[in-house]
Amino acid sequence: MKWINAVIAPCLLLVAVSATAAEDIEPAGELRFSLTIAEGTCELDQELIEVEMGPVALKRPVVVGRGLNETKFSIGLKNCSNATSALVTMGGSPDDTNPDLFALERGGATGIALQIKTNSTSPVVQKPVATDSTPVSRMVLDGKNSLNYIASYVPVSPNATPGAANAVVTFNIQYE
């Protein structure tokens, strides 16, 4: 804070001197600046989180919308200070059939998408930011936090076909 005052004070002094030199008048008032510099909010436990969904058999008839292989995972936050909530958005390609879900990488399974929802009593589906850029708010406490989620594969077509079912999802966190 001293550094900021040292920078601002000469600027104010120059303004005051210029005004006094141009017109021989008394100053009308003063401006005071204050700022609190806080530590960073949270750090990620890991920047790359690999979620192993395990194998699943695609049963016939395919039930559209029914989640397969629900798997829990967490985004770990540590050294949290001066934050009460984390606003999370997730990016990735939206599925062509259901843009509220994440598309799988091309060349594998078809008619299946990835769903990510919060792991809570009232789960919220985390939509691709291209579909809905509204962040999902999560509570943050001082210290270490886990933002818990559930991922599942969801058939979006009765004609779904088996194959590799990989997806890449990025996440962005803003703090309040």
Structural domains of the chain ordered from first start: 1-37 (no CATH), 43-175 (2.60.40.1090)
| Tens digits of residue pLDDT in 2-51 | 233 333 333 333 334 444 455 567 777 777 676 765 555 788 999 899 99
pLDDT of residue 2: 29
Q: Answer whether 86's CB lies under 8 Å from 78's CB.
A: no
In one letter, which amino acid is 30?
E
Q: pTM of the predicted model, to two decimals?
A: 0.75
pLDDT level of residue 68 (50, 70, 90 thresholds): very high
The number of C-alpha atoms within 13 Å of 174 and in the hemisphere containing its C-beta is: 9
Between the alpha carbon of residue 140 and those of residues 78, 84, 148, the distances in Å are 10, 5, 12
Query: What is the arithmetic mean of pLDDT over 90-105?
Result: 96
Query: 93-122: buried (b, 16+ CB within 10 Å) or exposed (e) per residue?
Result: bbbeebbbbbbbeeeebbbbbbbbbbeeee
CA 112 distance to own-chain centroid = 24
Res. 150: pLDDT tops 60: yes
Query: What is the arithmetic mean of pLDDT over 165-169?
Result: 94
Give CA angle at 100 (74, 167), nearest 5°.
55
